[in-house]
């Protein structure tokens, strides 16, 4: 199910009141996925329509892309402002509930992929399932399905350190999908890929959009933000969103 996130006048401050105070995100309002708050969806976040979207956060190094992505994904809390995930205000949710929202709503693909060496492809993809709320067998089937979808079936028993860069990237995507999130958040996903693999990655993300996922990519790679797959581009500078190009 497609996910929508509304960031409303959100600021994140580090070292508040000190000489080294920074505001990597400064009074940002942005909506990701779905038709927004005006839609009558009964307040449960289910819009009925499964239309995915790919949005890009671009901008120079230090402009706040990773911080905004972390705010969208409920990995950090705003200093001020509201964050609505499928209509629910999460900014002040207790940590336990925030963890639940994060796990059930978002799949993350980090720049450093954070795959666990020594574990196989299958084991890495299954990791976010723990602690297991579904049976092991069901989890394994689900993981194998994703591994197949991403063309890695022949590599499923390989340790991740034995894979190529592109294969590792696909393992990271499969792992991000294992909890069936409505949104995928990817930070510089093409940083370690050549042009061919970057295009392949965009193809995969395009397919996920077709399945109704909301995708947000932080990047300064033109191969990503100029891709025809992209629905919207937000340009960040000094913690602010400059414009909504598309």
Ligand X SMILES: Nc1ncnc2c1ncn2[C@@H]1O[C@H](COP(=O)(O)OP(=O)(O)OP(=O)(O)O)[C@@H](O)[C@H]1O
Interacting residues toward Mg ion by CB under 5 A: 65-66
Q: Is residue 2 close enough to count as binding ligand X by CB under 6 A?
A: no
Q: Provide, rounded to whole angstroms, the least separation between the CB of residue 137 and ligand X.
A: 40
Q: Which two tokens stand for residue 83?
A: 């964050």
Residues 44-83, mask of contacts with ligand X (x by CB under 6 A): ---------------x-xxxxxxx----------------
Q: Which does 16 bind (CB under 5 to 8 A by kind): Mg ion, ligand X, none?
A: none
Sign of the four-CA dihedral 106, 111, 116, 119? positive
Query: Which entry of Mg ion, ligand X, none binds 144, CB below 5 to 8 A by partner kind?
Result: none
DSSP 8-state secondary structure symbol assigned to residue 8: E
Please state the closest distance from residue 60 (CB atom) to ligand X, in A. 7
Q: CA dist 48 to 6, 138, 212, 220, Å? A: 18, 27, 11, 33
Distance CA 90, CA 145 (A): 32
How far is the C-alpha of 218 from the C-alpha of 94, rounded, in Å? 27
Choice between 6 and 66, CB closer to Mg ion: 66
- What does the binding site for ligand X look like in residue numbers (CB under 6 A)? 14, 22, 24, 59, 61-67, 218, 220
């Amino acid at each position: 199910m497609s996910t929508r996130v509304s960031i409303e006048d959100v600021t994140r401050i580090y070292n508040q009141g000190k000489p080294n105070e920074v505001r990597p995100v400064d009074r940002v309002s942005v909506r990701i996925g779905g038709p927004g708050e005006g839609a009558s969806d009964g307040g449960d976040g289910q819009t009925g329509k499964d239309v995915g979207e790919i949005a890009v956060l671009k901008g120079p190094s230090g402009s706040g892309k990773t911080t905004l992505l972390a705010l969208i994904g409920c990995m950090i809390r705003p200093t001020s402002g509201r964050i609505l995930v499928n209509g629910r205000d999460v900014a002040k949710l207790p940590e336990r509930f925030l963890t639940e929202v994060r796990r059930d709503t978002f799949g993350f693909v980090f720049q450093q992929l954070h795959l666990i060496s020594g574990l196989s492809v299958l084991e890495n993809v299954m990791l976010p399932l723990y602690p297991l709320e579904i049976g092991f067998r069901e989890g394994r089937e689900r993981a194998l399905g994703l591994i197949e979808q991403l063309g890695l079936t022949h590599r499923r028993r390989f340790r991740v350190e034995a894979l190529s860069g592109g294969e590792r990237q696909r393992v990271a995507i499969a792992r991000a999908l294992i909890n069936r999130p409505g949104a995928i958040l990817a930070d510089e996903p093409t940083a370690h890929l050549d042009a061919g693999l970057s295009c392949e990655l965009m193809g995969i993300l395009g397919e996920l959009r077709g399945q109704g996922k909301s995708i947000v990519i932080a990047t300064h790679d033109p191969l990503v933000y100029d891709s025809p797959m992209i629905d919207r581009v937000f340009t960040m500078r000094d913690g602010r969103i400059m414009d909504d190009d598309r």
